[in-house]
Structures are given as structure tokens and as C-alpha cells.
């Protein structure tokens, strides 16, 4: 029974990893941007949700929407200020990474000033504490909500990318920005929309993590950025379902490591699993079958 409980805990944590990695891999798949400030967007989404509850006294669903909106807006501002000027100059990829690192430091510094480096917490009545008993397992309602949001987000993104006109425009810009412009597609607008969706996903993940651990602080996004790298490599670069699958694998491996081996060794075991999977599947678990972007943007 302990094993099943740990698997459930791993699914919950993996769902959050996957949700965080979704926006990260969407940016990489469409815009070829390794946004090193993505962890700060995640963190600011959590701050927005927290202040929405504590200052504005809104309900949890409204706070989640506010965190999503703030994450999306910050991500768009990063595009306008840090990435788009470099794209217009055909700057090398390293310049984009360096620019995002600088933007990340700015966002971290602002959050440090706002929070005073304090760890802040959601009020205990933000989300109802409901414990469900099933087959000897203790399941929190919040855990079910996290899993449902992660799975629902993947399904919505896949539908959007492959079943809507907006998704076709995204895939056209990802394939070739030059060709998409000849087809009358506003590539700049599409890039802005992709950045907003990516940031919104980070904002949702930030609010959920802040509430699940009841801890919001200015450095909370940095560990998740590394986890996102591992998740998207495991799942396959540019793969939307792969990002969730990679996150789930990570969450389960870490949960089992904490329970049966050692918390100190959990991270090392996670990377060992990554190496083993990459040796067998160099493109990741779903990298070949479900990649949003297959060729370099031109």
C-alpha cells in the first residue's frame, strides 16, 4: 500500500513538473528559445496568486486565473524587451540565452525587494482541506485538481496546435517564419501569443506549487527550471505530450527514491534514469512521434 501511495505522490509532483515544462517546451519547439527566465515567470505567477488571495481576498479559482494572466503578461514583456530585438538582428542563440539570464536576474531582484526575502504562505482556508479515502489511500482533493489540470492542459494544447487555425499558424511559423509571412501570417503576433501561452502555463504551475507546499519565495522557480530541462529531454524536445510524460517519470522516480532509498540520492537517481533513457531513446520518449517543430526556423 505504501508503494501505491508513493506512486500517487509521484504522479502529483510529476504533473506539476510536466505543467511547468509544457510552456518551456512550447517556446523551444516554436521559437527555439531557451528562456532561462522561465523560472522567474513561474515565481511571479505564484506571487500574483498569493497577493490576489491575501490582498484582494479573491477565491482560489480567481487567484489561479490572475497568476496565469500575470505569468502570460511577464512572458510577453520578456519577448518584447529581451528576445524580439535579438531576433530582428539575427543574433546567435547564445545571445538569446545571455539576454534571458539577465532578464532572470532583474525579475529575481524585483521579487527579492517585494518580498523582503521572506517565505510567504497562503491562508489555510484558500483551498478546502478535503481528504478522500479510497482502497486504503489518503488522497487530497488538491492532488486530484493538480493532476486534472495538468492532463487537461496537455489535451487542450494538443487540440489547439493540431485542430485549430491558431495552431496551424503556430506550426507554420515554427516551420519557417519567412514562408509564413508569404502566406500572410503575422509571425510577430504569433510569437507574442506563444509567449503568452507559455507564461500562462508557468503562472498556473506557480500558483499550484505555492499552494501545494504552502510556500512562496523569490527563489522558488530556480530548482524547477532544472527539472523542466530534464522533463523535456526525457519526453522529447518540442513534444507537448512528452513534456507531461517526462514530468511524470521524474515525479515517480523521485517519490520512490525518497521513500525507499534516500532523499539525498533522489536527484542523482533521476539523472541516472535520464541517462539510461537517452541511451536507448536519444530523441526522448516521444521526441520522434510528437514534435511540434522539426526543422530550424528560417
Longest dimension (CA), the chain: 60
DSSP annotation of 297:
-
From first to last of its 298 residues, the chain has per-residue pLDDT tens of 677 878 888 888 888 888 888 888 888 878 778 888 999 999 999 999 999 999 999 999 999 999 999 999 999 999 999 998 988 888 887 888 899 999 999 999 999 998 888 999 999 888 887 888 777 777 888 888 888 888 888 888 888 888 898 888 888 888 777 888 888 888 889 989 999 999 999 999 899 889 888 899 999 988 888 887 888 888 887 777 888 888 888 888 888 888 888 777 777 888 888 888 888 888 888 876 444 444 444 5
Please provide the distance, in angstroms rounded to a whole number, between the alpha carbons at the two ends of the chain: 53
Domains, the chain, in order of start with CATH, read: 2-118+132-280 (1.10.3470)
Contact present, 61 and 224 (Cβ < 8 Å): no
Which residues, in sequence order, are CB contacts of 179 under 8 Å at separation 6+? Answer: 172, 298
Amino acid at each position: 500500500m505504501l508503494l501505491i501511495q508513493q506512486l500517487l505522490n509521484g504522479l502529483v509532483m510529476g504533473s506539476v513538473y510536466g505543467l511547468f515544462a509544457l510552456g518551456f517546451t512550447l517556446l523551444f519547439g516554436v521559437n527555439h528559445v531557451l528562456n532561462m527566465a522561465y523560472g522567474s515567470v513561474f515565481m511571479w505567477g505564484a506571487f500574483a496568486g498569493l497577493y490576489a488571495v491575501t490582498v484582494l481576498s479573491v477565491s482560489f479559482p480567481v487567484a489561479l486565473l490572475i497568476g496565469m494572466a500575470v505569468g502570460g503578461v511577464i512572458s510577453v514583456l520578456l519577448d518584447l524587451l529581451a528576445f524580439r530585438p535579438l531576433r530582428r538582428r539575427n543574433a546567435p542563440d547564445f545571445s538569446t540565452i545571455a539576454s534571458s539570464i539577465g532578464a532572470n536576474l532583474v525579475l529575481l531582484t524585483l521579487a527579492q525587494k517585494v518580498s523582503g526575502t521572506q517565505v510567504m504562505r497562503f491562508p489555510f482556508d484558500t483551498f478546502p482541506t478535503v481528504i478522500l479515502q479510497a482502497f486504503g489511500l489518503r488522497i487530497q482533493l488538491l492532488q486530484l485538481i493538480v493532476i486534472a489540470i495538468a492532463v487537461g492542459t496537455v489535451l487542450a494544447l494538443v487540440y489547439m496546435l493540431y485542430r485549430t487555425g491558431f495552431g496551424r499558424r503556430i506550426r507554420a511559423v515554427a516551420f519557417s517564419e519567412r514562408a509564413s509571412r508569404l502566406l500572410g501570417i503575422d509571425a510577430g503576433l504569433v510569437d507574442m501569443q506563444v509567449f503568452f501561452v507559455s507564461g500562462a502555463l508557468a503562472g498556473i504551475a506557480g500558483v499550484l506549487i505555492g499552494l501545494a507546499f504552502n510556500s512562496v519565495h523569490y527563489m522558488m522557480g530556480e530548482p524547477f527550471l532544472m527539472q523542466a530541462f530534464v522533463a523535456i529531454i526525457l519526453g522529447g524536445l518540442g513534444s507537448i505530450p512528452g513534456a507531461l510524460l517526462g514530468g511524470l517519470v521524474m515525479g515517480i522516480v523521485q517519490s520512490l527514491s525518497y521513500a525507499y532509498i534516500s532523499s539525498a540520492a533522489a536527484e542523482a537517481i533521476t539523472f541516472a534514469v535520464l541517462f539510461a533513457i537517452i541511451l536507448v531513446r536519444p530523441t526522448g520518449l516521444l521526441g520522434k512521434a510528437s514534435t511540434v517543430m522539426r526543422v530550424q526556423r528560417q
